[in-house]
């Protein structure tokens, strides 16, 4: 995946705050910044390229962000910017709405609406997400009503979006540059459903968006239940109130089967555990059981078929 990193400490201390204000103005939109730490401002921002969508994991000294009507007239990229607060808190004002945000809250601002956001804490950690308004499949003007609302990131659709963003920000090494636009489509769908859920207009979303979100829910359900040896297509379908036939159709579009997805994730998890020094003394059969294999012989055959080596030999090779 294409990724760019910006750090304030690449310039002299006296220039860092001005550098950071210029940096945010280029990646988002022009705004006024102020901070008690302007004399030696510390900040790091990564920009993950997802095609038309971009994701910005960032750690920075507390800031006050102000975007004025004059700045909007000068430059308006017509985007929504969502921010997932991970560490610290924020207070914000949009028009007549004032809202407070705590860790794992999501908030949304609009590049076309003046705002003022105050962040508080020792160091703020957040993941920003910017998406063109034109990409959201919602009735015209409906998404505007989400601006300024506090969107919980620990429950419901907010949790699904927060989990996706944090996992993406944690590790991008397995993604190719060509995966960026595909991930951008997934993020767009998650934001659309979160907005629709908040506005209670879910019926207005196109069927393909509902399908993609359902598939994401199912994939997350599978990851959370890999330990269950009884994890089967029938059980997964029942948990999501769909038929087994429809479940298989969803995965057909992914170029895999439900069983193959479960098998791959289990083997990847066991593969990782076998090279973890902290688990050196854990018997291989216990690792197999942890990831849903009730019989060690079944695990050994599956592992050898996938990696061309027995689990015992693989562990010995990596841990000695």
**DSSP-derived secondary structure letter, 225:** T
pLDDT of residue 202: 57
Given a cut of 70, is residue 243 above it in pLDDT?
Answer: yes
Nearest to 276 by CA among 303, 314, 310: 314
Q: Which residue is it, tokens 């985007």?
A: 79
Q: Are 91 and 118 in contact (CB under 8 A)?
A: yes
pLDDT digits (tens, 9 = 90+) for 259-287: 999 999 999 999 999 989 989 899 999 99
DSSP string over 100-155: EE-TTEEEEEETTS-EEEEEEEEEEEEEEEEEEGGG--S-TTTGGGGTT--EESSS
> How high is the mean pLDDT of the chain?
89
CB 303 within 8 A of CB 267: yes
Rounded to whole angstroms, how far apart are CA atoms 139 and 51? 23
> Per-residue pLDDT for 200 more than 90?
no
142 has pLDDT over 80: no
What is the band of 48 on the pLDDT scale with cuts at 50, 70, 90? very high
Query: What confidence tier does 204 reach under pLDDT thresholds 50, 70, 90?
Result: low
| CA–CA distances in Å: residue 52 to residues 8, 77, 130, 132 | 26, 12, 9, 7
Determine contact, residues 58/43, Cβ cutoff 8 Å.
Answer: yes
Query: What is the reported pTM?
Result: 0.69
């Amino acid at each position: 995946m294409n990724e760019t990193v910006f750090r304030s400490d690449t310039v002299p201390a006296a220039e860092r705050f001005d550098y950071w204000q210029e940096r945010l103005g280029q990646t988002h939109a022009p705004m006024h910044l102020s901070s008690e730490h302007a004399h030696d401002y510390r900040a790091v921002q990564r920009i993950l390229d997802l095609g038309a969508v971009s994701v910005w994991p960032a750690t920075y000294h507390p800031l006050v962000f102000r975007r004025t009507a004059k700045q909007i007239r000068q430059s308006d990229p017509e985007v929504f910017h969502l921010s997932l607060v991970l560490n610290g808190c924020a207070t914000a004002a949009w028009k007549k709405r004032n809202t407070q945000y705590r860790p794992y809250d999501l908030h949304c601002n609009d590049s076309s609406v003046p705002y003022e956001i105050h962040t508080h804490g020792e160091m703020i950690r957040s993941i920003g997400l910017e998406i063109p308004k034109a990409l959201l499949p919602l009735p015209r003007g409906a998404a505007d009503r989400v601006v300024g609302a506090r969107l919980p990131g620990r429950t419901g659709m907010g949790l699904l979006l927060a989990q996706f963003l944090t996992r993406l920000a944690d590790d991008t090494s397995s993604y190719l540059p060509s995966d960026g636009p595909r991930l951008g489509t997934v993020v767009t769908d998650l934001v659309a459903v979160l907005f629709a859920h908040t506005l209670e207009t879910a019926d207005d979303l196109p069927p393909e968006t509902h399908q993609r979100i359902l598939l994401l829910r199912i994939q997350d359900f599978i990851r959370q239940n890999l330990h269950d040896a009884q994890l089967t297509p029938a059980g997964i379908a029942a948990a999501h109130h769909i038929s087994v036939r429809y479940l298989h159709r969803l995965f057909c579009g992914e170029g895999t089967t439900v069983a193959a997805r479960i098998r791959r994730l289990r083997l990847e998890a066991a593969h990782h555990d076998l090279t973890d020094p902290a688990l050196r003394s854990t018997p291989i059969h216990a690792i197999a059981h942890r990831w849903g294999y009730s019989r060690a012989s079944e695990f050994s055959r599956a592992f050898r078929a996938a990696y061309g080596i027995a689990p015992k030999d693989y562990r010995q090779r990596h841990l000695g």
